Structure 1
Amino acid sequence: MTTLENRDRSALLVIDVQTGVLVGAHDRDGVLGRIGVLLERARGDGTEVVWVQHSSDQLPVESEPWQIVSELTVRDGEPVVHKRYGDAFEATDLEDVLAARGIGRLVVAGAQTDACVRSTLHGALTRGYDVTLVSDAHTTEDLSAWGAPSPAEVVAHTNLYWGFEEAPGRTAGTATAAEVELGGASG
């Protein structure tokens, strides 16, 4: 049901699964395992895979912390969108990448739940995309020492509210990695 014309394809959007981002992440290995399964399913059924890779002063381009984790592999032909802001659409070519592929629905996984994942979820919905968050394939670090809820609570809260998100002419929601529909047309 995307509001974007002639955009009936879906993509698995894998956000910031980088060595430095996932240091100490909640359920890191479980989340990466589920993302790995999603990647194989997407590749097997012809669903586009689009990667997002963050850079910052703490994640300098080409540094070890900036690299995609060794457990996951970007395949030839899978676009990698480089960003410096939380919302993967902001000051990047993500919209061009998706438009060129006829993508109007995003299935989102990755890190960090309370930063780049949330920003990108909202950015996509406001730009007209249908957006499904894979409820057991996103994670964050423990920032409770600075007053944040525990990582498990951050993930649970994000899943709760995104499950009820809506916008005119667009769909949003959550599904587990085992249950999420990857391919096919939007709507």
Structure 2
Amino acid sequence: MSPTTDTALLVIDAQESFRQRPDDWAATANPQVFDNIALLVAHARAAGDAVAWVTHSEPGTGGVFDPDSGFVRVVTELEPRADEIQVTKTTVNAFTSTDLQRQLAARGIGRLVVCGIRTEQCCETTARIAGDLGFVVEFVTDATTTSPIPAGPGYAAVSGDDLMRRTESVLGAREFATITTTARRVRAAAAV
């Protein structure tokens, strides 16, 4: 089914790979991420928006992001439809190693709603690149999550919550994206 609006929901890396790192996943900053993504997906479909599913792959590594592991697939709580965009990336952002930009352009998409896993990494980087490519970007922070970063050589520890707040500040204040919540996104779009 073709979208009837110029908006696409980008669901980034909501994949089983992350749950295969139990200690990391147990520390996720937003345990409700999949519930919020499911609400956004249902709303996007009802509104006639496109839905694009992005997974991350690291072929040949033998880890949980290696396609041979069987975990490079959308989590069981979420179900992509056959007619929705599905790409697998090998870079941090969703554009550089995929044909996502071409697929969005073919559908007349000019506005992107970004959600998924890791707030400050793949989601933020995709939002920045999308802005550079000319898309209007909404970033739904409570439909993203990340895990804390432990201290390392030359850098301090940062909590997952702090990473999420920092991403909101950087994207919002620097005008890379409009920052919103799942509830606001669903309400605002329903009012249009």
The structure, 1 or 2, with the larger RCO (C-alpha pairs under 8 Å, 6+ apart) is 1
Distance 1:72 1:98, change over 3 A: same
Q: Secondary structure of 2:183's match? A: coil
Corresponding residue number in structure 2 for 1:96:
102
Number of residue-to-residue matches in the alignment: 174
The 2-side partners of 1:148 and 1:70 are apart by: 32
Structure 1 window deviating more from structure 2 (112-121 vs 61-70): it is 61-70
Residue identity in the other structure for 1:19: E
Unaligned runs of 5+ in 1: 1-7
Corresponding residue number in structure 1 for 2:77:
71
Q: How does 1:48-67 map to 2 (within 5 A)?
A: 48-56=50-58, 57=61, 58=63, 59-67=65-73
Query: Is it true that 1:111 corresponds to 2:113 in the alignment?
Result: no
- Which residue of the other structure, out of 161, 166, 173, is the alignment partner of 1:157? 166
Q: Deviations over 1:121-172 (max 9, x none)?
A: 11101111111100211111222244341001001111122122337xxxx2
Larger helix share, 1 or 2: 2
Unaligned runs of 5+ in 2: none
Kindly indicate whether the alpha-carbon contact (under 8 Å) linking 1:9 and 1:183 is maintained by their aligned counterparts in 2. Answer: no
Kindly indicate whether the alpha-carbon contact (under 8 Å) linking 1:38 and 1:177 is maintained by their aligned counterparts in 2. Answer: yes
Q: TM-score, length-normalised on structure 2?
A: 0.83
Q: Secondary structure of 2:184's match? A: coil
Distance 1:37 1:20, change over 3 A: same
Corresponding residue number in structure 2 for 1:11:
8
Distance 1:136 1:153, change over 3 A: same
RMSD: 2.1
Kindly indicate whether the alpha-carbon contact (under 8 Å) linking 2:172 and 2:179 is maintained by their aligned counterparts in 1. Answer: yes
Q: Secondary structure of 2:17's match? A: coil
Question: Which of the two has higher C-alpha Rg?
Answer: 2
Structure 1 window deviating more from structure 2 (79-88 vs 141-150): it is 141-150
Query: Is it true that 1:178 corresponds to 2:180 in the alignment?
Result: no
Kindly indicate whether the alpha-carbon contact (under 8 Å) linking 1:9 and 1:102 is maintained by their aligned counterparts in 2. Answer: yes
- Which residue of the other structure, out of 14, 18, 23, is the alignment partner of 1:21? 18
Kindly indicate whether the alpha-carbon contact (under 8 Å) linking 1:113 and 1:155 is maintained by their aligned counterparts in 2. Answer: yes
Query: Is it true that 1:137 corresponds to 2:143 in the alignment?
Result: yes
The 2-side partners of 1:19 and 1:145 are apart by: 26
